[in-house]
Amino acid sequence: MAIIATGYRLNVINKEIEGKDMIFRKFLYLPLSVLYFFIPSAFAQQFIALPQPVLTIAAETYILTDFQSGQVLVSKDTQKRVEPASLTKLMTAYIVFSALKQKSISLTQSLSVSENASRAQGSRMFIEPNKSVTVDELLRGVIVQSGNDACILLAEAIAGSEEKFAMIMNKEALRLGMKNTHFTNSTGLSDPEHYTTTQDLALLATAVIRNFPEYYSLYSLKEYTYNKITQTNSNRLLWLDPNVDGLKTGHTKTAGYCLVTSAKRNERRLISILMNTSSDNARTMESQRLLNYGFQFYDTVRLYQKGQEVETIPLWKGSQDAIKAGVDRDLYFSIPKNQANKLKATMEYKRPLVAPISIGQKVGIIKLVFNDRPAAEYSLVALENVDVSNILSRTWDSLRLFFN
């Protein structure tokens, strides 16, 4: 059930003069809405590490993030280069989703199975050479059955070859901010130049959920039958935790047992990723511990709603004397449970602010402080268009600015 605290008190703390520009700072005391209901957002910020209860996870590297705020709640060695194994297929599916959105392929499109795809090593969907299979069937084969043959056939259909498909994967990885990731294939088979990090995988998992909600339900399928062969999803948490609805397992001898999991409780979503655990049971239980930890020890605070007026800023040389300012997306922030009173915000904006101003134009900054430490920054943007005033009014404002 949502815990709601409405309103905030806004007081002017100080102002600083830098050259001829004034920077006004206002302090926003937050009581804010501590919620278990969220709307996905697409922003990324720099956050401080939050104080956390002690947690030890039996994995080489791991990360737990809040989907709405984008913050890391707990982690270990998130920049360490690791082998992704079949977690690679998150990117393979992401590229396929993108192709579907761009209408370069369709779910009902039939593809002829190549000899190359049918001879794929490792886990398979068991497609047969020279027979036809639809893109929809192949996607299920990738996501549920972790079929390497399905990955290769989709790669060939989209890019002409798996090698060229890997180039697309790497280009998309860079676009998503996955700076420490490189792919050489669509399947996750071991290769010295095929690597990632848990931080990068968190970016990818978030993008899958945020950008392609119409396909995300595929990750919650517990089994899929193709060619009269039924294979179960190897993500055991789909059976053990009703809140879990994705995402992907991975395993090779060198990568160990890996798992990317997402769980949603009361509309709040967390994403956990762990790499190189000792067994299937270990990755399942440790992932469950990570998720339980996040839900038990953290809340996520809704700071402001998209389009909510945060402040009215004085405006010069405009068709009106002030402009409404706020945020262009729902803003959330994750904090240790029951500590919302330690979260405060400072708003800064320059004066003079001179017209014309367009909707969405940055006019200031909202700075968060948690427990008296800098925590995050967000853009304060104009919520309306304001044109310039007539020449007489602009001249008058110019004189006022000169003498002030």
The catalytic residues are 86, 89, 146
User: How many angstroms separate the CA atoms of 398 and 317, rounded?
Assistant: 8
User: How many angstroms separate the CA atoms of 123 and 108, rounded?
Assistant: 24
From residue 319, alpha-carbon distances to 10, 357, 388, 392 in Å are 26, 10, 5, 11
CA dihedral sign, ordered 206, 207, 210, 212: negative
Which residues, 6 or more positions from 269, have their beta carbon under 8 angstroms from its beta carbon?
38, 66, 67, 68, 209, 262, 263
User: How many angstroms separate the CA atoms of 61 and 299, rounded?
Assistant: 24
Q: How many helices (H) and strands (E) does the chain have?
A: 10, 19
Report, in this order, helix, strand and coil percent for the chain, each rounded to 5: 30, 35, 35
